Amino acid sequence: MLTVSEVTKAYGGKVLFDDVTTSFEPRHRYGLTGANGAGKSTFMKILAGELEPDKGQVSRSPRSRLSVLHQDHYKYEDDRIRDIVIMGNARLWAAFSEKEKLLENTDFDDAMGMRLGELEVVIAEENGYEAEVEAERLLQGLGIPTELVEEKLSALSGGMRLRVLLAQALFGSPDILLLDEPTNHLDIDSVRWLERFLERFNGVLIVISHDRHFLNTVCTHTADVDFENIITYPGGYDAMLRQKIQWRISAQKANASKQKKISELRDFIQRFGANAKKASQAQSRRRQIKKIELTDLKRSNIQRPFIRFESKTQSGKLVLTVDKMGKSFDEPVLDGLSFTIQRGEKVAVVGPNGIGKTTLLKCIAEIYTHDKGKMMHGHEVSVGYMPENHEELISKDDPRTAFEWLYQWNPKASVEEIRGLLGRMLFPSADADKPVAALSGGETVRLLLARLTLTGDNLLLLDEPTNHLDLESICALTDALNRFEGTIIFVSHDQALVDEVATHVLELKGAKGYDMFPGNYEEFLEKTGRAE
pLDDT in tens, 152-184: 999 988 888 999 999 999 999 999 999 999 998
Q: What is the dihedral of CA 491, 497, 501, 503, to 10 degrees?
A: 60
Partnered with residue 58 across adjacent β-strands are 4
Task: Tell me whether domains 2-85+138-240 and 318-527 share a fold.
Answer: yes
pLDDT higher than threshold 80 for residue 192: yes
User: What is the C-alpha separation between 308 and 326, in angstroms, rounded?
Assistant: 34
Q: What is the mean pLDDT of residues 191-213?
A: 94
**pTM for this structure?**
0.80
Three-point CA angle 22, 176, 494, nearest 5°: 90
Cα(165)–Cα(154) distance, integer angstroms: 13
Mean of per-residue pLDDT scores for the chain: 91
Q: Calculate the alpha carbon distances from 492 to 78, 167, 220, 339, 474 in Å.
A: 32, 22, 25, 20, 12
Structural Rg of the chain based on CA atoms: 28
Q: What per-residue confidence (pLDDT) applies to 532? A: 66
Q: Provide the pLDDT confidence category of residue 73 given band limits of 50, 70 and 90.
A: confident
2-85+138-240: CATH number: 3.40.50.300
List the one residue out of 41, 121, 135 whose CA is nearest residue 88. 135
Q: Which residues contact 320 (CB under 8 A, 6 or more apart)?
A: 340, 341, 364, 375, 376, 377, 378, 381, 459, 487, 489
How would residue 297 be classed by pLDDT, with cut points 50, 70 and 90? Answer: low
**228-255: average pLDDT:** 86
Highest-scoring range by mean pLDDT, 282-286, 418-422, 469-473: 418-422
Average pLDDT over every residue of 509-524: 91
Domain spanning 318-527, CATH architecture = 3-Layer(aba) Sandwich (3.40)
Give the burial string for 112-135 (b: 16+ CB within 10 Å, else e).
eeeeeeebeebbeebebeebeebb
Q: Give the 3-state secondary structure of residue 208.
A: strand
The answer to whether residue 3 scores a pLDDT higher than 90 is: yes
pLDDT of residue 496: 92
Residue 281 has what pLDDT? 84
Choose the weakest-confidence range: 5-19, 475-489, 502-516.
Answer: 5-19
What pLDDT does residue 300 have? 63
**Do 182 and 48 contact (CB within 8 A), yes or no?**
no
Whether the Cβ atoms of residue 431 and residue 402 lie closer than 8 Å to each other: yes
Q: Where are the domains of the chain?
A: 2-85+138-240, 318-527
* Mean pLDDT, residues 427-445: 89
Classified as helix, coil or strand, 67 is: strand
